[in-house]
Structure 1
Amino acid sequence: MNAAGDRPMKPAVWNGLRRKCPNCGEGHLFEGYLKTAPACDVCGQDLSGHRADDGPAYLTILVVGHIMGFVMHFVWVSFRPEPWVMATGLTALCVALALYLLPRLKGMIIAIQWAKFMHGFKALKANP
C-alpha cells in the first residue's frame, strides 16, 4: 500500500490490461469474453463487486475513434483508394480494434476500482 492507503495502481492496471486478477496478476479476470469471474482462481480475490458499467464501452469508442480518424486521414491523403475499398477496410479494422480493446479496458477499469477500494472492493478490516 502507498501513503494514501491505496493498493499499488500501476501493477493493478497492468494486470487489468492483461485481463488478469488485479491482486495477484496470475488468475483470470474473465470467465468468457466480458463476463467477470466471481473470484480469482489463484488468490481467491472476490471480483463480484466491480461496477464497470458503460465505462469500458465509452473508453473503447474514444480510443478507436481517435485512432481511426488518424488512419482515415492518412489512408485518404496517401493512397486515395476507392470509397468502397476504404469503407470496407476501415470498417473491418474498426471492428477488430474495438473487439480487441473492449475486454482490456474493462479489466483496466476493474483494476482501478480494486486499487482505490471502490464499490465492492472494500478495504479489509485490521484485526485489533
Structure 2
Amino acid sequence: MDQRTDPPQHVHPAVTNPLAAGLRGRCPRCGEGHLFSGFLTVRPRCEVCGLDLAFIDSGDGPAFFVMSFSGFVVVAAALITEIVYQPPFWLHAVLWLPLILITTLAPLRPSKGLMIALQYRHKAEEGRFGPGDAS
C-alpha cells in the first residue's frame, strides 16, 4: 500500500471572505494585512498574521480579464461615436486614451487581489504528474 501523504500547503484556513479581501487588496487569510507593497507588487508576507505569500502566482489572468472588458467597452464606445457623430481622428485620441487608461488601470489591482484570494481559498497550485501519468 502506498501511504503517501502530502504536507498541507496552508496550515491555517481562510477566515475571511475572499471577494471582500481580494477587492480591498487585503491578506486572503486574515483580511487585515495589506497584500500589495506597490501598485501590483505582492508583499513577501502578511504583516498581521504572517502568512507567507510566496505561493502566489496570479499569472496573466487579471490582465486578460481587464483587457477583455476594457477592449469591449472602448471599441464599442468608439464605434458608436464614429457612426453617430463622425468626429475627426484627433478627437478620437482625446476621447479614448483616458477611457483606456481608466478601464485598464483602475480594475487591475482589485482583480489581481481577487484572483490571489480565490487562489488561496481554493488551494490552487501548480499541476503535477502522478505516477503513471507521464506522457
What range is the shorter-chain TM-score in?
0.7 to 0.9
Distance 1:23 1:8 in 2: 6
Give structure 1 regions of 4+ aligned residues with deviation exceeding 4 angstroms: 6-9
Note if 1:45 corresponds to 2:59. Answer: no
Structure 2 vs 1, CA of residues 82 and 111 (structure 1 numbering), >3 Å: closer, same or farther? Answer: same
Between 33-42 and 86-95, the greater mean CA deviation after superposition: 86-95
Matches within 5 A, 1:18-97: 18-97=24-103
TM-score, normalised relative to structure 2: 0.72
| Contact kept in structure 2, 1:7 and 1:116, CA below 8 Å | no
What residue identity is the alignment partner of 2:74? M
The CA deviation at 1:7 is 5.0
Identity %: 32
| Contact kept in structure 1, 2:15 and 2:29, CA below 8 Å | no
Query: Which residues of structure 2 form unaligned runs of 5+?
Result: 1-12, 127-135
Greater relative contact order structure (CA < 8 Å, 6+ sep): 1
What residue identity is the alignment partner of 1:112? L
The CA deviation at 1:99 is 1.4
Query: Which residues of structure 1 form unaligned runs of 5+?
Result: 1-5, 121-128
The CA deviation at 1:35 is 0.7
The CA deviation at 1:79 is 4.3
Matches within 5 A, 1:6-25: 11-25=17-31
